[in-house]
């Protein structure tokens, strides 16, 4: 369009900063992902599909995606409630709770994994109670779900919190003076304002849960067709020196991830258009 690639600028360092950025990005991220695509697609699409098209792989992909979705929905609902409570209410230990929300980001996944397993195993503190009720959590899909809820917990709260802080009280007061009940105000005035940020957090939490490995493998039990997640299947293929098989599942997961990245971006564009730049 006749525009220069880079506009002239008096600030020095263009070559150096562009050089470091593009070199490291290519070497660290783009080249490895290209290698995955080349390796996975080299035998051709039909061969790729044939590799993925086994009951065990479908079961693993379906399990990872389904449980990630359930965990993300839980985190969406609870994350909005948590953000609302932390911003709007005043109670003892509020600041401690606020700081603790980020624990799943800071705690290594392997540490979370063995801790959750110790808690929910049949001889653990919570697992013991569940066992008395005739219910098994660790080494079943329930255990995987708890681990996925744990790792995705902070996303929605952290994206929604700043939006709640920005809401002007006058809006709610106006709604009340016009005769709306509190529940009606929350549903028709507050919730639409939170929706874009909440959906962004939901998508982030979902993407994280689909690919999660460290916190899940300890508690999952890893029984093929039942509690075997897709990332574990990649590790198993690699241990069998089946690079092509691992690459095929890797590409399937990458497609899911990029699909989500696309949705996140679309949601952000949509939210900006709807309520201005947040």
Partner 1 sequence: MSDIPLAYVPKAFKPVATEVPWVRWLLITLVFLVLAVLLFAPLITVFYEALREGVGAALTSLTDKESLSAIRLTLLVAVFAVPLNAIFGIAAAWFITKYSFRGKAILITLIDIPFSVSPVVAGLCIVLTFGANSWVGSWLVAHGMPVVFAVPGIVMASMFVTFPFVARELIPVMIEQGKAEEEAALTLGATGWRVFFTVTLPNIRWALLYGVLLCNARAMGEFGAVAVVSGKIRGLTATMPITIEMLYNEYSSVAAFSLAAVLALLALVTLVLKTLLEWRFADQLAAQHRH
Which residues 181-210 are close enough to bind partner 1 by CB under 8 A? 182, 204, 207, 210
CB 209, min distance to partner 1, A: 10
Q: Which of residues 144-173 bind partner 1 (CB under 8 A)?
A: 146, 149-150, 153, 158-159, 161-162, 165, 169, 172-173
CB 166, min distance to partner 1, A: 10
CB 74, min distance to partner 1, A: 10
What Cα–Cα distance (Å) separates residue 94 from each residue in 81, 152, 200? Answer: 14, 21, 25
Q: Does 58 bind partner 1 (CB under 8 A)?
A: no
What Cα–Cα distance (Å) separates residue 104 from each residue in 46, 60, 183, 220? Answer: 40, 24, 32, 18
Handedness of CA 218, 219, 223, 228 (dihedral sign): negative
How far, in Å, CA of 83 to CA of 88, rounded? 8
Stretch that binds partner 1, among 45-53, 54-62, 94-102, 135-143 (CB under 8 A): 94-102
The residue whose two tokens read 């990458």 is 254
CB 274, min distance to partner 1, A: 19
Binding mask 99-138 for partner 1 (x = CB under 8 A): xxxxxxxxxxxxxxxxxx-xx----xxx------------
Structure tokens at 105: 């980001």
Q: Does 269 bind partner 1 (CB under 8 A)?
A: no
How far, in Å, CA of 104 to CA of 110, rounded? 11
How far, in Å, CA of 174 to CA of 147, rounded? 42
């Amino acid at each position: 369009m006749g525009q220069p690639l880079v506009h002239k600028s008096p600030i020095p360092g263009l070559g150096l900063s562009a050089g470091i950025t593009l070199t490291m990005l290519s070497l660290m991220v783009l080249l490895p992902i290209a290698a995955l695509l080349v390796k996975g697609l080299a035998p051709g699409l039909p061969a790729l599909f044939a590799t993925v098209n086994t009951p065990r792989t479908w079961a693993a992909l379906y399990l990872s995606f389904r449980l990630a979705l359930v965990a993300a929905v839980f985190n969406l609902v609870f994350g909005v409630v948590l953000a609302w409570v932390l911003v709007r209410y005043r109670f003892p230990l509020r600041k401690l709770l606020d700081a603790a929300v980020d624990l799943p980001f800071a705690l290594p996944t392997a540490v979370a994994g063995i801790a959750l397993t110790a808690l929910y195993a049949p001889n653990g503190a919570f697992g013991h109670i569940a066992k008395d009720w005739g219910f098994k959590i660790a080494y079943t899909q329930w255990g995987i779900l708890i681990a996925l809820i744990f790792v995705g917990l902070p996303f929605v709260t952290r994206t929604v919190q700043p939006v709640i802080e920005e809401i002007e009280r006058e809006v709610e007061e106006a709604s009340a003076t016009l005769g709306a009940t509190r529940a009606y105000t929350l549903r028709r005035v507050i919730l639409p304002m939170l929706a874009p940020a909440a959906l962004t957090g939901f998508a982030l939490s979902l993407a994280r849960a689909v690919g999660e490995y460290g916190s899940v493998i300890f508690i999952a039990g890893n029984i093929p067709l039942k509690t075997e997640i897709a990332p574990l299947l990649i590790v198993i293929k690699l241990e069998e020196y089946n690079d092509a098989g691992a690459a095929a599942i890797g590409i399937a997961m990458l497609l899911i991830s990029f699909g989500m990245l696309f949705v996140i971006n679309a949601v952000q564009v949509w939210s900006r258009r709807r309520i201005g730049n947040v």
